[in-house]
Amino acid sequence: MNAVGIDVSKGKSTVAVLRPFGECVISPYDVSHTESDLDELVRTIQCLEGETRIVLEHTGHYYEQILLKLAGAGLFVTAVNPKLIKDFKINSLRNVKTDKADSVKIARYALDRWNELIPFTKVDAARMQLKQIHRQFVFYTKNKIALRNNLISLIDQTFPGANSLFTSPVKVDGKQQWVDFINDFWHADCVRKKTKKGFVSLYFRWCEKQGYRKSEKKAEKIYEYAKGLVCTLPKDDTTQMLVKNAVKQVNAISETLEFYRNQMNMVAMSLPEYEMVLSMKGVGTSLGPQLMAEIGDVRRFRHKGALIAYAGVDPGVNQSGTYNQKSTRTTKRGSAELRRTLYIVMEVLLKTKPEDDSVYQFMCKKRAEGKPYFVYMTAAANKFLRVYYGKVNEYLAIQE
């Protein structure tokens, strides 16, 4: 039996081959991520006598090139979580951290976990695309929050509180009413320097142009509100430039986000579990594809506990002798993006209150017991994943 350990980095990987009892078949050497070098690596592994299993780490997206190449050649290859390799002990007091040492450590891990290794099956292209779109969606979401906060900081000096005057939901194109309003009424003087009747008339024309519902009561409320404001930036060209550029950036990234949201939904629709996932309470056309993107094919998890551990919402354990800690933190060792999506789903359940949903009932039970917010939210996320695992697995089995 040959254990091939591959330490992956950007542009190259370090490969080592071991056999039981510490026999080194191939000493660690570097392989570039080029077509010729990867073809040579495949030939080298294929020439090894006996059964061969290859292990490499999930390292960003760099491992995907070599993983797909080796799997495409019909070799037994698996990608494992780097945390498992890091926690694997090699019975040494020395702490050596080099690519060569890491490749040997991975090969030893392969020998030690030989019977537990799960071969990689080529991920459906749609799932890979869905995950990449979701990662871009999360990236732009974080940037939108920063840009929105920057805009609010600016209008706190020109039209304080203007962002709280409107509660309309986000449009399909990503635009929001308060952002559109600030673009045209970027300073309180744009409102209060007019007569009440003049502003009401101007506000009506603005609503018609932007496609919002007209309300004389709303216009009068905005006018009276603006009259009592104290602004720290003057109404001049420089201030206008600052506000309008900030609005432009927020609108641009909002449009991009909605585009990615629609693309996620379109790709997710091609996957077999789409209808089942969307039938679950708290999940819609936005959160459903996000869950599917981060979980992937649920059948790759041996049991529901593996999925919960992957999400990092499993409670930790601290016990020694007669000591047994009753309350422990969650591990948080899994996918941070999956945990983020789960917490949003839990927030939706809190707002919609579906009385017939088992996850919501469980959450209410924990709240009634006096559990803190993060405790019952995490416990409900754990429960949700158990339900998800069971329902989706059963649905996929029927589809087959």
- C-alpha distances (whole Å) from 100 to each of 8, 92, 122 are 11, 16, 28
**To which H or E segment does residue 188 belong?**
none
3-state secondary structure of 318: coil
Find the distance separating the first CA and the last CA of the chain, reported in whole Å.
Answer: 35
How does DSSP assign 164-183, residue by residue? GS--PPPPTTS--HHHHHHH
Handedness of CA 59, 61, 65, 67 (dihedral sign): positive
pLDDT in tens, 73-126: 888 988 888 878 887 776 665 666 788 888 888 888 888 888 888 888 766 678
Q: What is the pLDDT of residue 224?
A: 93
Find residue 77's DSSP bridge partners. 54
pTM of the model: 0.78
Kindly list the averaged pLDDT for each block of 10 residues, start to end, along the chain of length 400: 88 88 86 88 88 85 83 86 77 71 87 84 77 92 95 95 88 87 94 92 93 90 92 93 95 93 92 92 91 89 87 67 61 80 93 91 91 88 92 85
> Which class in CATH covers the domain with range 2-122?
alpha beta
Six-digit token string for 390: 């069971």
d(CA 128, CA 81): 17
Six-digit token string for 388: 């998800």
Nearest CA among 80, 105, 77 for reference residue 92: 105
Q: What is the pLDDT of residue 278?
A: 93
Q: What is the pLDDT of residue 341?
A: 92
Q: What is the pLDDT of residue 315?
A: 67
Q: What is the pLDDT of residue 158?
A: 94
Q: What is the pLDDT of residue 259?
A: 93
pLDDT in tens, 230-255: 999 999 999 999 999 999 999 999 99
d(CA 171, CA 358): 32
Helix locations, 269-371, DSSP H: 274-278, 287-295, 304-311, 336-352, 358-368
